[in-house]
Structures are given as C-alpha cells and as structure tokens.
Amino acid sequence: MDIQVIGVTGLPLIQKGDDLPALICDRVTFEDGDILTIASSVYSKAKGFTRELSTISPGADAVRIAAKTKEDPRFVQAVLDSSTDVLLEYPFILSEVPSGHIGVRAGVDHSNVEDGRIIILPPDPMGAAAEVRDAVHKITGKDIRVLVTDTCGRSFRRGQTGIAIGWAGMTAINDYRGDTDLFGHVLEITEEAAVDEIAAFANFVMGESHQGIPAVVFRNCRMWNGHDSVYFTREEDIIRAALRETKKN
C-alpha cells in the first residue's frame, strides 16, 4: 500500500501532431501495472481536437442560450456541437457527450490554449486511453493502465475535481458487492468508482493553470475487478429525470 505518485514535468506546450505517448515515455521509466493519467486537454491538443472560434457561426439556439449565459455565441455553438443531449441551458449548459459523460459546457475549455482557440473533449475517450496504452507498450514493452481525465464540477458541492472520461487496462468500477466487511457482513451495494478516485488525485497533482503537469503516474495501486457501466441508464438516473421536469416548467 505504498503508492507512489509521480507528476510528469518538463513536457512542452502540446501541438497538433505531437506524439504524446513518446514525449511521456522520454520522461518516465514505466513499470508493469503503472497507471498513467493524462489530462484530456493535452490529448485533445495533440490530436487536433481544438477549434478556432473565428470559424464557428452560431445558430439560433446558440445565440438564444448565449444571451442568457452571457457567453460568446460561437463558444456556445461549439458546446452544442459537442453535445448529444442538453440537460440544462442556464445558468450554465450541462450536456451529455457521445461517450455518455455529462459535464458543464460539454467539457469545452478555453484555458491552457491560445486566445481564440478552444479545446473539445476527445470524442472517443475510451479509444484514446486504449491507444495511449498500446503506444506505451510498443515503446517500452511495459503493460500499463491508462486513464484520461477532465476537471469537472459536482452536484451538491462547491469545487471541481478530476474525473475519468476514458480508461484502459482496468475497469471503471471496483465492485465490492458480495465481499465481506470486517464483521463478516456481505456488502450489497458498494460499487467504488475507482477510476474517478484516481482521476481526482491526478487532477490535484496536475493543477488547473500554469503548472504544466498534464500527466501523472501512479505506481503500486492494487488491481481490482468490476465493470465499466459507470453511467446510469436513463431509467436509473433520477437527477436527469428531475432536470427534465424542470425544463418542462
């Protein structure tokens, strides 16, 4: 249980076309089982998942919502373009993206990128994690686990934390159901969101501004078993149902 947490320093400003796994492998000596966490923002920059605001022409919905949120209508259009379902328009857009993740402004960022340019979330974050894992294996021969993170707000509490939007080499959930506690009681409910717990601490190490640490390695984390059904189905999701009711009123 002696977990080591290694922030990857010395990475350059990432540009489209950069080989992010190679740049990270130049700076880290990986061991089998390591968990490499990567900020979605740098993965997106390396893959060119960014947009120039000047090339976006906002439609009627974007103009209407931007008037309420007091944002740039072109930014709002980019958020709508990234969204498969808008749960809330005001005081901020809360929407679902194709991977099933639900986030404020669909995770579209205008920090840590040049003026006039925005970063969108990787459209296939699970594929992104698998691709980075394979790339590190090709370069180093090591079998690592990979997590793609984003900083997100939470319901009920002030303050953002890191969460996992893509992962490979591990399941999202550490399923404790059927396990026994210290007194022999069988656990019936607990499904621990292990990837989000690790993403949150990775996000703490990364920081949010000029720290320049978009990747963090966790060594000596135990393995776990579970499943990947981290997103509630429409039927299960009571918060989403409640928001739909508010929208009707």
Which span sits near ligand GDP by CB under 6 A: 130-138, 181-189, 205-213, 217-225? 205-213
Q: Does residue 208 interact with Mn ion by CB under 5 A?
A: yes
Strand pairing of 85-88 and 173-175? unpaired
CB of 151 to Mn ion, least distance (A): 3
Q: Does residue 99 interact with ligand GDP by CB under 6 A?
A: no
Asked if residues 143 and 32 have their Cβ atoms less than 8 Å apart, the reply is yes
Q: Does residue 214 interact with ligand GDP by CB under 6 A?
A: yes
Q: Which two tokens stand for residue 104?
A: 């404020």
* Pairwise CA distance, residues 210 & 201, whole Å: 18
Q: Cβ closer to ligand GDP: 21 or 214?
A: 214
Rg, Å, the chain Cα set = 19
CB atoms within 10 A of CB 114: 10
Which span sits near Mn ion by CB under 5 A: 101-109, 127-135, 164-172, 212-220? 101-109
Work out whether the CA dihedral 128, 131, 137, 139 comes out positive or negative: negative
In the window 217-246, what residues touch ligand GDP (CB under 6 A)? none
Q: Does residue 40 interact with ligand GDP by CB under 6 A?
A: yes
Q: Does residue 100 interact with ligand GDP by CB under 6 A?
A: no
Which span sits near ligand GDP by CB under 6 A: 104-112, 132-140, 167-175, 192-200? 104-112
Q: Does residue 159 interact with ligand GDP by CB under 6 A?
A: no
- Give the largest Cα separation in the chain, rounded: 62
Asked if residues 146 and 194 have their Cβ atoms less than 8 Å apart, the reply is no
- Residue 14 in 3-state DSSP? coil
Binding footprint of ligand GDP, residue count (CB under 6 A): 21
Which span sits near ligand GDP by CB under 6 A: 33-41, 94-102, 185-193, 229-237? 33-41
* Pairwise CA distance, residues 141 & 77, whole Å: 43
Q: Does residue 208 interact with ligand GDP by CB under 6 A?
A: yes
Q: Does residue 109 interact with Mn ion by CB under 5 A?
A: yes
Query: Does a cis peptide bond (omega within 30 degrees of 0) precede residue 91?
Result: yes
- Residue 110 in 3-state DSSP? coil
Q: Does residue 41 interact with ligand GDP by CB under 6 A?
A: yes
Q: Does residue 123 interact with ligand GDP by CB under 6 A?
A: no
Helix (H), strand (E), coil (C) string for 135-154:
HHHHHHCCCCEEEEEEEECC
Please pick, from the candidates 34, 96, 150, 196, the single residue that binds Mn ion as defined by CB under 5 A. Answer: 150
Contacts with ligand GDP, residue ranges (CB under 6 A): 11, 13-14, 39-42, 45, 109, 111-112, 150-151, 206-208, 210-214
Q: Tell me which residues touch Mn ion (CB under 5 A).
A: 109, 150-151, 208
